[in-house]
């Protein structure tokens, strides 16, 4: 049974016999307050007195107070009210709830009284043993817990082993639970039901008793020889690092149920984790298909950058049954994007249902595509709708603001980008990625002090962040200020990523600011040759120009213009060099 507050978050309302009817029955037996002496009534009806029990003896009041406390996840208060309610009620479910709540709040005395009351009202032996085992575990009494668990599994109840597992899962001390699991859930005791064997093996794995998990899994496999037992034994072997053994067992499982989609997915996932993507794809290509097989096939094709497989999969999925196609609308949009079919992608993303787990992502991708198609206003309008729709969901709201900011950065609309990053930071303060993005937006807008502030804050949060070190170092160098700090920061970044052209560009630009023109040219030319980035080319061209090599500089500027005809940095640099 789950521990803590989580198990009481959903209310279980009593049926008619356990709610108002029970309360009224309780009222009949409660002490009454009827007022003073009665005068002879003028009318017969005047002889009726209103029964008014005090709060402590009002069953309905106690039940309602207990349920209200549960809605607030206030377990101590709920336990107190149910502790009073069980004395007033003859319904065993009230006593059961009182016992469960008392154990949850570690009130052993009340829990014992509730269990005794529950027994008196007719609780079954298995349920009582389960409750007493939970109480014993909560109090650290291993011997009593074992005695009660032995009663439970020996009760003959059809759910005994499931209840046994619930008791151990909810134990406060995992080591104590693991000890009892190994002692009691042995091959000699377990019932002739493969589900029980697999459940105990999985529980052992969760409790850190991997050797036990393997032993039970292998015993289940040998005894039942079913596809399910082979599959679980394979998973246990795979986690232990025995990939060959795991694959052999999954082959046996598939031989028993060759059309079992879940098995094919498990085997394909294992193959892909081992790096055998081709074998995984081949396994999934044949046999029955559903939304999950299509999704994994698409992931494998994308990982292999196999455009033919992506196109083939897209055609197949378009012709799949309506149910599969509906569930796969987001995947179809992704496959269309991979083939640069942007209009089709938008259409598929538009078909993703509102209750689909990918609904938010579909709208986010739609905004990006609209922006790429030049429909900037539509893209930002869609993102504004998302910001309103997901106002109460911080994760999605943060991503909506961040996407908006990144699109504004592409447009070089830095004030709007700053605003979007700032709104995102109100949702997730001090988020490193958002601080980095806003710092870059400030830097591009020429707000150096604010850029430096964000990037320094980021380095306080993540002192070893290479990209932040490089960004702050470059920002300082570009502003021609705090050059010793800039040099230290960029050195750190270069040591971490010696072959990164962006960091080489920062170092070369720093050398230019320091007056080391030859070293600046050498470093910037290396970065330019490694990656024809427009901003790197602008830096190289300016340093060449300042070195007196105007013809070489002009050649570089011409290349930059071909790469990015509207590059703002190029236009500003040429205006400065050729006033």
Three-class DSSP labels, 510-558: HHHHCCCHHHHHHHHHHHHHHCCCHHHHHHHHHHHHHCCCHHHHHHHHH
**Mean pLDDT rounded to a whole number for the chain:** 88
Torsion angles phi and psi, residue 413, rounded to 5: -95, 80
Which SS3 state, helix, strand or coil, does residue 126 take?
Answer: helix
For residue 37, the 8-state DSSP code is P
Mark residue 36 as left, alpha or beta (left: phi above 0; alpha: psi -120 to 50; beta: remaining). Answer: beta
For residue 170, the 8-state DSSP code is T
User: Is the separation of the CB atoms in 120 and 94 below 8 Å?
Assistant: no
User: Of 229 and 269, which is predicted with more confidence?
Assistant: 229
- Say how far apart CA 270 and CA 201 lie, in whole Å: 20
Which SS3 state, helix, strand or coil, does residue 39 take?
Answer: coil
- Say how far apart CA 176 and CA 97 lie, in whole Å: 25
CA-to-CA separations, 157 to 90, 120, 124, 247, 317, in angstroms, rounded: 24, 20, 9, 37, 47
Which of 153-157, 186-190, 273-277, 475-479 has the weakest average pLDDT? 273-277
Looking at residue 6, its pLDDT comes to: 34
pLDDT tens-digit series, residues 123-147: 999 999 999 999 999 999 999 999 9
Quick one: pLDDT band at residue 267, thresholds 50, 70, 90?
A: confident
What mean pLDDT is predicted for residues 337-352? 96
For residue 463, the 8-state DSSP code is T
Quick one: pLDDT band at residue 7, thresholds 50, 70, 90?
A: very low
For residue 56, the 8-state DSSP code is G
Longest Cα–Cα distance in the chain = 122
User: Is the separation of the CB atoms in 152 and 160 below 8 Å?
Assistant: yes
User: Is the separation of the CB atoms in 502 and 469 below 8 Å?
Assistant: no
User: Is the separation of the CB atoms in 122 and 92 below 8 Å?
Assistant: yes
- Say how far apart CA 162 and CA 165 lie, in whole Å: 5
For helices 501-513 and 517-530, the axis angle rounded to 10 degrees is 160
Q: How many CB atoms lie within 10 A of CB 384?
A: 13
Quick one: pLDDT band at residue 24, thresholds 50, 70, 90?
A: very low
Quick one: pLDDT band at residue 19, thresholds 50, 70, 90?
A: very low
pLDDT tens-digit series, residues 445-462: 999 999 999 999 999 999
400 contact partners, CB below 8 Å, separation of at least 6:
364, 383, 386, 387, 390
Quick one: pLDDT band at residue 15, thresholds 50, 70, 90?
A: very low
Structure tokens at 576: 């400065």
For the cut 60, the answer to whether the pLDDT of residue 34 exceeds it is no
59 contact partners, CB below 8 Å, separation of at least 6:
22, 23, 25, 26, 27, 30, 85, 88, 89
For the cut 60, the answer to whether the pLDDT of residue 27 exceeds it is no
pLDDT tens-digit series, residues 188-198: 999 999 999 99
User: Is the separation of the CB atoms in 401 and 421 below 8 Å?
Assistant: yes
Looking at residue 93, its pLDDT comes to: 96
For the cut 80, the answer to whether the pLDDT of residue 11 exceeds it is no
- Say how far apart CA 104 and CA 47 lie, in whole Å: 48
Handedness of CA 28, 33, 37, 42 (dihedral sign): negative
For the cut 80, the answer to whether the pLDDT of residue 14 exceeds it is no
Structure tokens at 188: 């000699």
Mark residue 429 as left, alpha or beta (left: phi above 0; alpha: psi -120 to 50; beta: remaining). Answer: beta
């Amino acid at each position: 049974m789950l521990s803590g507050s989580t198990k009481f978050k959903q209310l279980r309302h009593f049926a008619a016999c356990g709610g108002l009817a029970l309360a009224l029955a309780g009222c009949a037996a409660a002490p009454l307050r009827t007022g003073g002496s009665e005068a002879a009534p003028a009318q017969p009806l005047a002889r009726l007195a209103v029964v008014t029990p005090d709060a402590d003896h009002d069953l309905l009041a106690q039940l309602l107070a207990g349920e209200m406390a549960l809605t607030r996840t206030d377990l101590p208060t709920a336990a107190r009210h149910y502790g009073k309610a069980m004395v007033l009620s003859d319904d065993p479910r009230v006593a059961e709830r009182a016992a469960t709540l008392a154990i949850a709040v570690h009130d052993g005395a009340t829990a014992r009284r509730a269990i005794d009351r529950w027994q008196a009202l007719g609780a079954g032996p298995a349920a009582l043993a389960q409750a007493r085992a939970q109480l014993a575990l909560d109090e650290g009494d291993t011997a009593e817990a074992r005695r009660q668990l032995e009663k439970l599994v020996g009760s003959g109840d059809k759910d005994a082993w499931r209840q046994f597992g619930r008791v151990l899962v909810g134990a406060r001390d995992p080591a104590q639970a693991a000890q009892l699991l190994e002692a009691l859930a042995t091959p000699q005791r377990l019932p002739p039901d493969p589900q029980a064997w697999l459940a105990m093996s999985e529980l052992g794995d969760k409790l850190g008793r991997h050797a036990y998990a393997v032993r039970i899994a292998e015993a289940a496999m040998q005894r039942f020889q079913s596809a399910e037992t082979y599959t679980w034994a394979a998973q246990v072997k795979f986690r232990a690092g025995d990939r060959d053994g795991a694959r052999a067992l999954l082959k046996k499982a598939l031989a028993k149920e060759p059309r079992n989609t879940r098995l094919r997915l498990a085997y394909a996932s294992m193959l892909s984790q081992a790096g055998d993507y081709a074998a995984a794809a081949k396994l999934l290509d044949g046999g029955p298909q559903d939304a999950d097989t299509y999704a994994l096939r698409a992931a494998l094709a994308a990982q292999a950058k196999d455009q033919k497989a992506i196109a083939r999969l897209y055609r197949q999925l378009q012709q799949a049954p309506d149910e599969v196609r509906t569930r796969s609308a987001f995947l179809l949009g992704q496959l269309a994007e991979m083939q640069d079919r942007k209009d089709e992608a938008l259409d598929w993303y538009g078909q993703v249902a509102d209750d689909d787990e990918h609904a938010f992502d579909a709208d986010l991708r739609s905004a990006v595509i609209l922006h790429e198609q030049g429909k900037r206003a539509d893209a930002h309008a869609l993102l504004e709708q998302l910001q309103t729709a997901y106002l109460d969901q911080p994760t999605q709201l943060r991503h909506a603001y961040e996407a908006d900011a990144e699109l504004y950065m592409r447009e070089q609309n830095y004030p709007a980008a700053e605003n979007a990053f700032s709104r995102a930071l109100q949702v997730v303060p001090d988020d490193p990625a958002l601080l980095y993005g806003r710092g870059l937006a400030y830097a591009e807008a020429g707000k150096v002090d604010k850029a430096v502030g964000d990037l320094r804050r980021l380095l306080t949060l993540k002192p070893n962040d290479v990209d932040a070190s490089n960004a702050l170092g470059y920002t300082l160098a570009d502003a021609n200020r705090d050059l010793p700090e800039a040099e230290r920061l960029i050195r750190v970044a270069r040591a971490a990523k010696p072959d990164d052209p962006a960091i080489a560009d920062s170092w070369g630009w720093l050398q230019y600011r320091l007056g080391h023109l030859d070293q600046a040219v050498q470093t910037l030319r290396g970065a330019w040759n490694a990656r024809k980035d427009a901003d790197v080319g602008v830096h190289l061209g300016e340093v060449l120009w300042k070195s007196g090599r105007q013809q070489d500089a002009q050649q570089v500027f011409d290349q930059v213009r071909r790469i990015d005809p509207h590059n703002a940095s190029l236009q500003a640099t040429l205006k400065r060099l050729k006033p």
